[in-house]
Each structure stands twice: as C-alpha cells, then as structure tokens.
Structure 1
Amino acid sequence: MSAQALASHLAAGGGAPVLEARGVHWGPKRAPDILRDISFRLGSGEVLAICGANGAGKSTLLRLLYRYHAPRSGTVLLEGSDLWARPAQEVARVVAAVLQEQPTDFALTARQIVALGRLPHRMGYGAGARDAEVVEAALCRLDLGAFADRRFGTLSGGERQRVMVARALAQEPRVLILDEPTNHLDIRHQLELLSLLRGLGLAIVTTLHDLTLAAEFADRVMILSEGGVLADAAPLMALSEDNIASAFNVTARVDRSGPAPRFSFQLQGC
C-alpha cells in the first residue's frame, strides 16, 4: 500500500495505524538530540524502509520503536496506546525485532533460539504443543530444517541471520522491526527473505543500505539526515536524485527506464 493510499484509507476510517510516532526526539543524557521531531504512521501490512547515511539516526529510531529507548519528548503509539504505558511482555507479543548484532557464543541450538520467540506468550512453566508447532513452522519458513539442531555459534553469518528472523516470526508479532536484515545474506537469500517478509501481512519497519532493495521492497521510504526526516514518501518520490545527494553527500543518478530504478553515484566534485 502506498503512502497516499494508506493516508486515504485511514482518513476514510479504514483502520487505525498499528504503529505511530508523534514528534519524537531522543538523545543521550546531558547531550543534544540525535533524533529530532520524527513523526510517521504505519498501517497493517505496510512496509517502511528507513535509509540514510551512517550516523543519520536509523538504528536509534528503531530502538525507540521496539521499546529499548524511551523518547526524550514525543510519543510512540502501538495500536493507539503509548508504547511505554504497556507492560513489556505485552509489547513483546505485538512487536518483534531482528537486530544487526548476533551473539556467536550461544550453546543453544538454532531450534532452541527460535523457541525463545515463544516466551512472551507463555503464562506458566514450559512449552506447550502449540509452541512446538509455531517453532517448527518458523524453521520451515526460513529453510532452516537442516540446521535446526546445530549449535547457533557454529552457523555462518547468513544462517544466524535467518535463525534470528525465524525467532521473530515465532513471536507471532503484528509489528516487525529489522535492522539491516539482508546483512550476511547472499543475493538469493536476500531476495527470498524480502519476498517472505513482504508476504507476511505485518507492519514492517526496516533499515536498508541498498537503495535498490528499498525501492523494490518497501511501500514507503523514509530518508533520515542528521537526525531528521528528509523525505517520507513512495519509493520513487523519496529516492530522488536531489534527496539522495542531500542525504549521502554524493552526486546521484537514477535510471527509471527499466522495471525497477537503478542507482549510480559519484563523489561530489568528481
């Protein structure tokens, strides 16, 4: 769903946003804001890709959305209520996150890592029959059957990344937040993962360095620059030559002659 279509849908009463940021600011204690006046709305089934140069605030924004950082000012709303007014376990049943950092010293197997995704749903001790079914389904969706009983630390970076996505899916979230999910993946697994995520019907927020993947995968692209929103629009509008040049301090060319845009870059002044 495009940003314009989503806005029309919401305005017509078609549904409230699943995730919303209203004028969010954040910075470390006794230091200036890193993020300034971030606002957006995300509907069910919509994919938002966040792009920008290193240090623009992309990962920091994600930390606000999965309840790691509380805003200095402004509000993050989950299904219409303040994210920080809800119990952490309740939020974990709705929001799942896949981060760039992957522990490598776990003695747990891939299956056991994925099973950790069921913890927010457990009301008593031990896993139930449905937990096992959900875990197996997540392993299958990420094509991890052959690695399920191997120790997590013995897997390649790409295999570990898929395990962490499977763990997030085992949470059965309504909002999925991913920080560079295609890192460590070869081209085929990048495309397979993005196609899988696209078909989940979840509200998805993800950072992506690859502008081509962002243009093909996302309904909307938000470009951050120096902690603020430079653009938030449909991919072809957000990823204009001027916006890319401003955000990344490069000269950009966008070839729109094919089915998907192709990007080329040069250092400014070269």
Structure 2
Amino acid sequence: MTLVELSGVFWGPKGQPDILSDISFAVPEGQILAICGANGAGKSSLLRLICRHHAPNRGTVRLLGRDLWLMSAPEAARALAAVPQEQPGEFGLTVRQIVALGRLPHRRGWGAGLSTPDGTDAALVDAALHRLDLAPLAHRAFGTLSGGARQRVMIARALAQEPRVIVLDEPTNHLDIRHRLDLLALLRGLGLTVITTLHDLTLAADFADRVLVLHEGRLLADGPPETALTETVLARAFRVQARIDRSGAMPRFSFHL
C-alpha cells in the first residue's frame, strides 16, 4: 500500500521562483526513504510539503491515498509524525510532558492534563521514553537538556503519536555516535514508513531501502542506494569529483574539488 505520494508537485514562496519543480514519487508502507542533496537543493522544503506545513503551488500530496489538504490537521497527525531539525529552546515543560504532546491528535477534547495522561496514553508515553533511553530524564525541564537529548525527546514525542509514517529532518545531527547508531537501528525496527533527510551518505547507504537525490529542486536520482548514489550522480548533485570504494561491507565515499 502506498502511504505517501507526490504527483507533479511545485512549490516556492509566494511571488518567488519555485524551489521544488515537478516532484513525483510514491512511498510504500514500511519503506525507509532517505532524501539526500546539497544545501539548498530543496530537502527541507520537500519534507515541509509532506508534513502539511506548506501547500503545493501545483500538484498533489497524498497521505493514505487522500489529498493531504482535504484532511483535518488532527487526522493527518494521527497518520504522520514529524521531527523537525530545529529544536525549540524552552517549552516550560518537562521531558515527559513534551512526549505526552504526541497523544494530542488522538484525544477528543483538550481537557486532559498533559502532566498526567491516563490509561493508554500514559503507557504509550512511558514506552516512548524507555525506547529513547529518556526515562531517567522524564522529570527534567526540556530547556535544561543537551541538543542530543532534546532531539531524542522530539523523536519520543513522535513515537508516542503512534503514526504510520514518521518524517525526520536530519535526525542524527545532534547525536553522538552511540545514540546515532541506536536511533537508526530503532527506526529500522519500528516497522513504520520512514522518510528522512540525511547529509551522511554512508549512513544513508547503510540505513535506507531507497535514496532520493535532489538537485536544484528536481529529482536527480531515485532508487536503491547502490543505484542512486553513484559517482556520476554525486558529482552532479554536489558539484565535486566523487569516488566510491565498494570493496568493504559498506561503501566509502570520498570527494575532491
């Protein structure tokens, strides 16, 4: 089943040239898709379209087969969770309260307190805290955490949302090596559809089922890592000379001007 589909999508700020042009692809259930490309290629803009932050100027974004912009925001949030790259500095809430925000799309009203979610909500919040190694920090103020810990909190919030699709913008940026590997293993083991941007091409080649390479707002390559991440594609995408050593268990990338 296709969970996310873009058809002929164009987007740019009002009154300015399009940043993304003629983007079409479909993501089936359970697939892990990594989006790669140079700075300014349109990666974050593409994620914002998928997450319903931007409406396309032309074309259609579909979630679970429906036009994303014909769904209500809570309905979309029950199916798709987003983890942005930018982390808010201070919510005035504890780690547990932040993670509990992931349950809001499933509530019928706004009366339930965030600090004491009941029944199923509490169990799901606890499970998300444990999966991201955050239980010892549950009562810490979010604003007192390191950048890496904040990133894990935002991912835990997304997991508490119980989505079918999770979208992440550079999720490993603030993480140390151990938590970076733990996170990618966790995401792969969730059984969810995962769409993420990644700067690290070695991580993308090892982690993703499929890689989409953007260049100047258009699709340059789309396929399994071994066919999407070629020397020719990378040379054009990043405007460098690219070399790939595939003699080991994972490809090794090197670049020269």
Instruction: Show CA shifts across 1:215-270 (max 9, x none).
Output: 00000000000000000010011000010000001111000001110101111xxx
Q: What letter matches 2:69 in structure 1? A: W
Counterpart of 2:13 in structure 1 is 28
Question: Do structure 1's residue 200 and structure 2's residue 190 form an aligned pair?
Answer: yes
Which residue of the other structure, out of 142, 155, 162, is the alignment partner of 1:152? 142
RMSD: 0.7
Instruction: Describe the superposition over 1:37-59 as per-residue Cα deviations: whole angstroms up to 9, x where unpaired.
Output: 11111111101100000000000
Aligned match of 2:95: 110
Distance (Å, rounded) in 1 between the aligned partners of 2:82 and 2:64: 17
Mapped pair 1:129 → 2:114: no
TM-score after normalising by structure 1: 0.92
Tell me the distance in 2 between the aligned counterparts of 1:128 and 1:145: 18
Answer yes or no: is 1:49 the counterpart of 2:34: yes
Report the AA paired with residue 210 of structure 2.
R
Instruction: Give distance in 1, aligned partners of 2:118 and 2:31.
Output: 32
Give, in whole Å, the separation in 1 of the partners of 2:61 and 2:174: 30
Distance 1:25 1:112 in 2: 37
For 2:58 and 2:193, the matched residues in 1 are separated by 24
Q: Displacement of 1:128 after TM fit?
A: 2.8
Does residue 19 of the first structure (1) align with residue 9 of the second (2)?
no
User: Match of 1:182?
Assistant: 172
SS at match of 1:92: helix
1:167 aligns with 2:157: yes
2:234 corresponds to which of 216, 241, 244: 244
Q: d(CA) in 2 for partners of 1:171 and 1:44?
A: 17
- Rounded to whole Å, the distance in 2 between the matches of 1:61 and 1:148 is 33
Secondary structure at 1:93 match in 2: helix
Q: Does 1:38 align with 2:28?
A: no
Shift of 1:30: 1.0
Letter in 1 for 2:47: L
After superposition, the C-alpha distances for 1:37-93 in whole angstroms (9 at most, x for unaligned) are: 111111111011000000000000000000000000010111111000011110010
The runs of at least 4 aligned residues of structure 1 exceeding 6 Å deviation read: none
Corresponding residue of 2:245: 255
